[in-house]
Amino acid sequence: MSTLTKIMVAVVSSVFLLSPVAFAGGNLAKQKPIEVRLDMGKDSAGDHKFYPDKLTFETGKLYKLVLHNPSDSKHYFTSPDFVSRVYTRKVQVMDDLGAGAKQIGEIKGAVSEVEIYPGGTTEWWFVPVATGNATVWCHIKDKDGKTHRDKGMEGMITIL
Ligand SMILES: [Cu+2]
C-alpha cells in the first residue's frame, strides 16, 4: 500500500468512527420544543372549526401544542388515536396567549382529552412515539342538537 493510500484509508476509517450513530437521543422529553398553534374556532359565534385543521408531527421530537380558544364557546380537543401515539410530558394552563403569558397550572401524566374555555390557552407538551393518522374533534352539543363536530369542528393529525 502506498503512503497516500494508507493516509486515505486512515481518513476514511476515522470518518466512519467519528460519524454520529443513530441511537435514540437520550431524554427526548427534554428537547427544545417545536411550537405548533391550534386555534379552536374564531371570534364570531358559531364558527366551529379548527385552525388549521391539519397537523403533522414527527416521532421522537418534543412539541408544544398551543391550544387557544378565541371564540365565545367551550371547545374540546378529543382524539383517542392521537393520545395513544404520544408521550405527554405535561399540560400547562396559561393566563394569556403569547410571549408574556404566565403558567397558572400544570398537569402531568397521561392526558386523554383537553377542554379549553373561551379565551383560554393551554400548552400540551408531548413526544409522538408511534406513527399513524388520528382524527381530532369537538364533541360539545349545541342547543340545536348538533355537535361542534357535526358543524365542521374536526381535523386530521398525521404522525410521521
Ligand atoms: Cu367545540
Confidence of residue 42 (pLDDT cuts 50, 70, 90): confident
Q: In order of start, what are the domains of the chain with their CATH numbers?
A: 3-159 (2.60.40.420)
DSSP states along 110-155: ---EEEE-TT-EEEEEEEE-S-EEEEEE--PBPTTS-BTTTTT-EE
Task: Using a cut of 0.85, tell me whether the model's pTM lies above it.
Answer: no
pLDDT at 25: 72
Mean pLDDT estimate for the chain = 89
Which of 76, 126, 119, 128 is CA-nearest to residue 98? 119
**CB under 5 Å of ion ligand 1: residues:** 75, 138, 140, 148, 153
In this structure, what C-alpha cell is assigned to residue 128?
409522538
Return the pLDDT at 8.
63
For residue 106, report the distance from its CA to the centre of ligand 1, in Å: 23
Q: For 89-133, how does the pLDDT look when each residue is reduced to its tens digit (9 = 90+)?
A: 999 999 998 889 999 999 998 898 999 999 999 999 999 999 999
Q: How confident is the model over 45-61, as a mean pLDDT?
A: 92
Determine the distance separating the centroid of ligand 1 and the alpha carbon of 75, expressed in angstroms.
3
